[in-house]
C-alpha cells in the first residue's frame, strides 16, 4: 500500500485527545480504537510481536537481518492523537492533483477558500498532489502522516528480505498533543539505542532543539458586593486578572515572536467577580531566560498580593518539559545521518528549532536520545492543514535510507 493511501485511511479515525481528561491515559477511548487497528495492521504485514498495552501505547519490533545483529537498535515513534484546536471528526480528505498554484475551493457550499495569499507555502508545491480537507476539520497529518510513513517503511522491509537492517523498534503513543501520555512510555521495554520521532512539518526538517516549557495556572480570589454598594469593598477578580495580564511584557506574546524567541501565552480565562482563573504556557529555548520568565511571574504575583492581600492571587507553576539539545549534542550522529539520508534521497535538509514540544524531548531526558524528523505536513492544527502526496512517499524513502545508513 502506498503511504498516501494508508494516510487517507487513517484520517477516518477520530483520535482527538482531551485536556479535560489529562489525568487518564489515553484521554479518549478513540485513540485506543486506532491503536488496536494499527496492531492488527502490523500483524497483517508479518510483525507478530505487535501489541497495545493498557495505556494504549503500541509497540512492535522487527528483528535484525542475519549478520546485522550487532548494529544499533533504531526506534521510530509517532503519536496517535490529534489536537483539540480543530475538529477531528468526520474528516473528508481529498486530493488536489497536479496543483496549479491557484486558490483552492475546499468547500463550495460554505465558501471556504484555501487562499495562496494567506497561505503562501502552497506556492512551494505547484505540480504536487495535495491532500486537503473540506475546510471544516483538521486533516490529522500531525501525526497520522508520521504513522503512515513508519508503517509503510515497516511493510517495505517485511516484503523485501534482501533489505539489510539492524533491529528496528516501532511505537505509537497517545496524548502527545496534551503532553501527558509520554510519561507512561516504557523506555526499557522499547529497548532502542536511540530513536526518531516522525512528527515534524515541511519535508527536510530536522529538529533537535525545542522549548523549555512550563504551565502557569493562576486563581484570582475576589470579593463580590452589590455594585451599587461596593465602594471600598469590592475586589473584582476579573479586573485583577486583567491587571496581572497587563503586567506581562507585551512584546513577549506568541504573535510577536519567532525562531528562538520565547513567550507567555494566555490560553484560557474564565471567571466572575468572586473568582477568576487564568492558564498560561511559558516557553523559551534558553534555560536562563526560561527561568527568568518564571521568576518574573512570581514577582508579579508577590507584588499584587502585597497590594490586594495575601492569597488574592494563587499561583501553580509547573515545568512540563525541557530543551532536548543537551541530550542530542553527545549523539550528533543522529543529526548527521538524518542529513545524509535526506541528501541521498534528493531532499535539502533544514535544521530548525521546534517552537513547541515533542515526545522526543521528554524521552531524551529519560535516556533515549530522540530528535524529530519531518512528516511533510503543513499548517498543523488548522482547518487548512495539508500534506503533499509526494512528501509522504519521499519521507518513507528517507526512513528506509536512515535504516540503510545504520546497517552499513
What would the grid cell of residue 133 be? 480537507
What three-state secondary structure class fits 205? strand
CA distances from 229 to 185, 233, 323 (A): 57, 8, 52
Compute the 3-state secondary structure of the chain and give helix, strand, coil in percent, each to the nearest 5: 35, 25, 40
Catalytic (active site) residue 129: no
Which residue in the list 41, 81, 167, 207 is annotated as catalytic? 81
HEC assignment per residue over 44-65? HCCCCCCEECCCCCEEEEECCC
CA distance 222 to 234: 8
Q: Which helix (H) or strand (E) holds 168?
A: strand 168-173
CA distance 129 to 55: 36
Helix axes 389-407, 141-159, angle to 10 degrees: 50
Q: Which helix (H) or strand (E) holds 238?
A: helix 237-246
Which residue in the list 149, 176, 273, 385 is annotated as catalytic? 176
Catalytic (active site) residue 176: yes
What three-state secondary structure class fits 111? coil
Residue 94, beta-bridge partner list: 132
Residues with a catalytic annotation lie at 81, 176
Amino acid at each position: 500500500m502506498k503511504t498516501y493511501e494508508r494516510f487517507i485511511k487513517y484520517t477516518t479515525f477520530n483520535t482527538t485527545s482531551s485536556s479535560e481528561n489529562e489525568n487518564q491515559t489515553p484521554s479518549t477511548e478513540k485513540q485506543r480504537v486506532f491503536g488496536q487497528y494499527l496492531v492488527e495492521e502490523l500483524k497483517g504485514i508479518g510483525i507478530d510481536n505487535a501489541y497495545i498495552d493498557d495505556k494504549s501505547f503500541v509497540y512492535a519490533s522487527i528483528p535484525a537481518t542475519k549478520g546485522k545483529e550487532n548494529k544499533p537498535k533504531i526506534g521510530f515513534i509517532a503519536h496517535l492523537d490529534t489536537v483539540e484546536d480543530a475538529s477531528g471528526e468526520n474528516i473528508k480528505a481529498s486530493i488536489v492533483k497536479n496543483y496549479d498554484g491557484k486558490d483552492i475551493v475546499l468547500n463550495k457550499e460554505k465558501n471556504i477558500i484555501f487562499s495562496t495569499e494567506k497561505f503562501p507555502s502552497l506556492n512551494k508545491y505547484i505540480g504536487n498532489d495535495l491532500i486537503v480537507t473540506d475546510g471544516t476539520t483538521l486533516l490529522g497529518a500531525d501525526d497520522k502522516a508520521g504513522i503512515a510513513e513508519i508503517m509503510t517503511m515497516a511493510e517495505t522491509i517485511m516484503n523485501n528480505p534482501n533489505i539489510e537492517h539492524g533491529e528496528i523498534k516501532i511505537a505509537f503513543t497517545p496524548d502527545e498533543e496534551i503532553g501527558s501520555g509520554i510519561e507512561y512510555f516504557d523506555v526499557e521495554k522499547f529497548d532502542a539505542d536511540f530513536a526518531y520521532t516522525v512528527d515534524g512539518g515541511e519535508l527536510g526538517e530536522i529538529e533537535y532543539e525545542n522549548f523549555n516549557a512550563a504551565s502557569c495556572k493562576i486563581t484570582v480570589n475576589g470579593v463580590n458586593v452589590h455594585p451599587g454598594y461596593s465602594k471600598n469593598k469590592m475586589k473584582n477578580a476579573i479586573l485583577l486578572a486583567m491587571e496581572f495580564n497587563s503586567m506581562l511584557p507585551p512584546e513577549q506574546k506568541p504573535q510577536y515572536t519567532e525562531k528562538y524567541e520565547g513567550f507567555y501565552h494566555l490560553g484560557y480565562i474564565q471567571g466572575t467577580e468572586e473568582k477568576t482563573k487564568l492558564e498560561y504556557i511559558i516557553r523559551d529555548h534558553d534555560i536562563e531566560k526560561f527561568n527568568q520568565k518564571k521568576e518574573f511571574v512570581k514577582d508579579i504575583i508577590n507584588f499584587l498580593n502585597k497590594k490586594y492581600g495575601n492569597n488574592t492571587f494563587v499561583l501553580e507553576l509547573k515545568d512540563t518539559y525541557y530543551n532536548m539539545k543537551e541530550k542530542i549534542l553527545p549523539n550528533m550522529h543522529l543529526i548527521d545521518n538524518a542529513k545524509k539520508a535526506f541528501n541521498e534521497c534528493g531532499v535539502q535538509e533544514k535544521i530548525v528549532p521546534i517552537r513547541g514540544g515533542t515526545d522526543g524531548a521528554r524521552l531524551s531526558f529519560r535516556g533515549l536520545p530522540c530528535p524529530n524528523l519531518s512528516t511533510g505536513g503543513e499548517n498543523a492544527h488548522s482547518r487548512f492543514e495539508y500534506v503533499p502526496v509526494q512528501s509522504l512517499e519521499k519521507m518513507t524513502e528517507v526512513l528506509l535510507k536512515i535504516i540503510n545508513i545504520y546497517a552499513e
